[in-house]
Homo-oligomer: A and B are copies of this chain.
Amino acid sequence: MAVVSEKTKFTPPDNLGTKYRVEEVERFVVAAMASLGVPPHNARALAQVLVAADVRGHYSHGLHRLGSNHYGIAGWYTMKAAERGLVGMSFTNTSPIVVPSRSKKPCLGTNPLSVAAPARGDDSFVLDMATSVVALGKVEVAQLYNKAMPEGWGLDKQGRTTTDPAACLDHGFLLPLGATELHSSYKGFGLGMMVEILCGIMSGAPYGQNLNTRNRSSVPADLSQCFVAIDPSFFASGFQDRMSDFMDQCRNMEPVDKSRPVQVPGDPERANAQKVKSDQGITYHINQVRESWQLAQFLGISPLEWL
């Protein structure tokens, strides 16, 4: 947060482009990290996970996260397992911001989970989700893009429902998946607790309210993760064929609106990655570009060079 307020001293030029080569974004992330003394190996690993998020269309978890102590997309780790023919699972706790059903204040993070499973050829199932209605990054992106958010995503600092991302981000909170108690928000809350049990509680690290809040970036977050890999061939052969058939069953359901086909987890991200490939670059919102320009000035590194 200190970094954010310092770097807003710089006013970006008017003529910034919005499309950037993948390699150029990686170069920028590595340079930013190197300028802060991060070892090259770690800087490259961070660049890969952040840029993968942008390539997959999860802008909330990509370049937008540069400098923060962030796990990146939970799917990054499970896709590594799926590429090797395994079912992968990953979980991380995060700083408390989710309000459990009936409570005034948060005691849990957005605690995301990911499950990936390989199918035939390049196809795969990649579920990657916060256990809140939406990830905090979606609210931040709504703010960055000057958009209202739907009711049922978050609360302001008084615990009132709000559609203003700025009110939610100003010490406000997020709701668990389900949104209301009548729509089983205790399930989203329970899933968030499950993630905390597998991360902080299981490992003996900080958990729940013992975790640092997100507004204190000067202290380490001290988050915990849990990773699982299962070899499906241990149970029965033909797993990848059944996966493809099952996903195609779902994809081929008759849609309510013919222009919006049914998608399985991983499909929107795969489509986005294909677009980046055919465009030969990632297209960013101009506000994201401005922010990266300010960061470059602040850190004294070359700004992103557009296509």
Contacts and interface: CB of A to CB of B under 8 A. Distances in A.
B104 A256 contact: yes
Contacts of A246: 193, 196-197, 200-201, 207-208
A129 B191 CA distance: 10
A243 B102 contact: no
B257 A102 contact: yes
Contact of A263 (B186, B202, B238, B255): B186
A102 B133 CA distance: 18
A136 interface: no
A242 B201 contact: yes
Interface in A122-180: 125, 127, 129, 133-134, 150, 152-153, 159, 177-179
A17 interface: no
Given A262-B100, A262-B102, A204 B235 contact: yes
Given A133-B184, A134-B184, A256-B103, A115 B197 contact: yes
Interface in A73-128: 87, 100-105, 107-108, 115, 117, 125, 127
Contacts of A102: 255-257, 260-263
A172 to B, nearest CB: 15
Interface string A187-225: 111110110110011111001110000000000000000
A5 interface: no
Nearest first, the 8 closest Cβ-Cβ pairs linking A and B are A204-B236, A103-B253, A127-B190, A190-B265, A129-B187, A150-B182, A103-B262, A201-B242
Given A102-B257, A103-B254, A190-B264, 10 more contacts: A100-B262, A177-B184, A179-B183, A186-B263, A189-B265, A197-B246, A202-B235, A203-B236, A204-B237, A204-B238
26 contacts: A102-B255, A102-B257, A102-B262, A103-B256, A104-B253, A105-B253, A105-B254, A107-B249, A115-B190, A117-B197, A127-B193, A129-B190, A150-B182, A152-B182, A152-B183, A153-B183, A193-B264, A193-B265, A197-B243, A200-B242, A201-B246, A202-B239, A203-B235, A207-B246, A208-B249, A209-B249
